Amino acid sequence: MAAKAFLITRPAGKADQLLASLDEMGLDYVYQPLIATQMVALKAKEQQWLLEADQLIFVSVSAVTSLQQQLEASQLKAPLLAVGETTASALKQWTGREVRFPLDQRSEGVLAMSCMQQVENQHIVIVRGQNGRELMKQSLQKRGAKVRYVQSYRRVPIALDGASLLAHWKDSVSCILVTSDEIMQQLFTLVPVSAHDWLRQRHWIVVSPRMHDSALAMGIPVANIILADNANDSALMAAICHYKRDYL
């Protein structure tokens, strides 16, 4: 029997709804998180930045949940923005307040929002993990804003036996779903170099044009890359259904 399972690599706690949807559709999948998140303790100066900000931007659900463990929602007075709908939902659930997010659920979408146009002398705080894109900060600084990062969590690779996992995946996995460059890189780091061609021969579902370019740079053929509209569950399921319709 041909391999037809999806390899789902979303971190623990972020894949529940997606896996439930796959179960409802009767689709085969293997679930293996590759990266975990760890809360980073707020420094006193970072807490002060959050309390005094003119606008707060959250880049991920982990940014929200890690901050939630350290602050009361009532302490955040500034308008709230999120890069994506899922993050906005988590932030609204925590704070009970309105949270704005763009239709284009990327940094580019946030920068195009009306509230991001006239920001001269505003103090804007971006809550995120370590590293990540610099586009939002650089663009807002060019518009005259004073931008600071608060790192509320860090991402760490999970210790796994790549050779053992590969032996399990080889007979079942036909399509790999990844939601960050970091996860994609970790897959290639995890499995033996001798299996990199096998990875490249899978179909891949990625969540941004930037990830599409990264997949090409890793040697994955363009015909094997499916670009989801974004990283929320509905967009991922639409991409999975596209793959199911065209390839299974």
Say what the pLDDT of residue 246 is.
Answer: 87
**How much is the average pLDDT of 184-194?**
95
Q: Average of pLDDT values for 196-222?
A: 96
What's this model's pTM, rounded to 2 decimal places? 0.85
User: From CA 92, how far away is CA 10, in angstroms rounded?
Assistant: 22
pLDDT average, residue stretch 173-194 = 95
Domains contained in the chain, CATH given? 5-34+158-247 (3.40.50.10090), 37-155 (3.40.50.10090)
Helix (H, G, I), strand (E, B) or coil at 124: strand
Token pair listed for 195: 């299996």
Tell me which H or E stretch contains 163. helix 162-169
Q: Which parts of the chain fold into alpha helices (H)?
A: 16-25, 44-52, 61-68, 85-95, 107-112, 135-142, 162-169, 181-190, 196-201, 209-217, 233-247
Burial (0-12, 13-18, 19+ Cβ within 10 Å), 135: middle
Question: Residue 231's pLDDT is what?
Answer: 86
Percent over 90 (pLDDT), the chain: 86
**Residues 82-96: b if buried by 16+ CB within 10 A, e if exposed:** bbbbbbbbbbbebbe
The percentage of residues in the chain with a pLDDT greater than 70, rounded to a whole number, is: 99
pLDDT digits (tens, 9 = 90+) for 166-178: 999 999 999 999 9
CB 175 within 8 A of CB 247: yes
What mean pLDDT value characterizes the chain? 94
pLDDT attached to residue 4: 87
CB 208 within 8 A of CB 236: no
* Cβ atoms 93, 64 nearer than 8 A: no
Tens of pLDDT, residue by residue over 60-75, are: 999 999 999 999 999 9
pLDDT over 60 (residue 1): no
Mean pLDDT along residues 183-194: 95
Is the confidence at residue 232, as pLDDT, over 90? no
**In this model, does residue 2 exceed pLDDT 80?**
no
Burial 3-34 (b: 16+ CB within 10 A, else e): eebbbbbbbeebbeebeebbeeeebebeebbb
Q: Which residues pair with 204 in a beta bridge?
A: 176, 225
**128-150 pLDDT per residue, tens:** 998 888 999 999 999 999 999 99
For residue 128, the 8-state DSSP code is E
Residue 12 has pLDDT above 90, yes or no: no
Span 220-233, mean pLDDT?
93
Q: Quote the longest CA-to-CA distance of the chain.
A: 62
